[in-house]
Amino acid sequence: MSLTPLIASFVLVAIAELGDKTQIAVITLSSQFKAFSVFSGAMLAFLVTTGIAVAIGDALTLVLPLLWLRVTAAAIFLIFGFYTIYTIRSRKSEEQVKTKDARNAVLSSFSLIALMELGDKTQFAVIALAAQYEFSLLIYLGVMLAFALITGLGATMGTALTKLVHLKHIQLGSGIIFILLGIVFLINAVLGFA
């Protein structure tokens, strides 16, 4: 069994989430609540939304021809790559999430992160990865490890993360990785590689 699905999903999500609005929300929440509570709520949200994405990707493999799924996965990665790079210039200052009225940090973190992740680029990337590879459990594990790493960093380091690496550079790196994976998936689809 190849570990490619686990490694690909881990690297992709870890880099993509660094500059994502969800990560900014985790950093912001952790400046107002205990880091462990924010981490717990966010991870519960990621468990649910990632499970949904993997299930959708698995279901698509039963309905659509493999070539279509691979070409669609490649297109999703290319679109999000170009979109991420395109939005670097047009994006205003980082979003600030106001949660001063929240009474329960875990519930606040869960609900905010779950809502932000539904329909997010990383969720579509997980659907595409699950459709691309046979081992959806490895995809799920890789994504959850990436979310745990990035969310843990965000919850413990707070705003220090964005001071170390400029957000524009993080977003540019994410966009390039999405584009490169899209090209690789497209080549694999056309040439019929697994």
pLDDT in tens, 69-102: 678 777 877 887 787 788 776 554 444 333 343 4
Report the C-alpha gap between 79 and 16 in whole angstroms. 14
Residue 43 has pLDDT above 70, yes or no: yes
Report the C-alpha gap between 107 and 113 in whole angstroms. 10
Are the C-beta atoms of residues 129 and 57 closer than 8 Å to each other?
Answer: yes
* Residue 102: predicted pLDDT: 42
Among 113, 151, 124, 111, smallest CA distance to 53 is for 124
What's the average model confidence in pLDDT over 149-155? Answer: 87
- Percentage of residues in the chain with pLDDT exceeding 90? 10
* Residue 144: predicted pLDDT: 94
Averaged pLDDT of the chain: 77
Are the C-beta atoms of residues 23 and 143 closer than 8 Å to each other?
Answer: no
Among 129, 152, 132, 135, smallest CA distance to 46 is for 152
* Residue 97: predicted pLDDT: 35
Q: Hey, what amino acid is at 122?
A: T
Model pTM score: 0.65
- DSSP label of 193: -
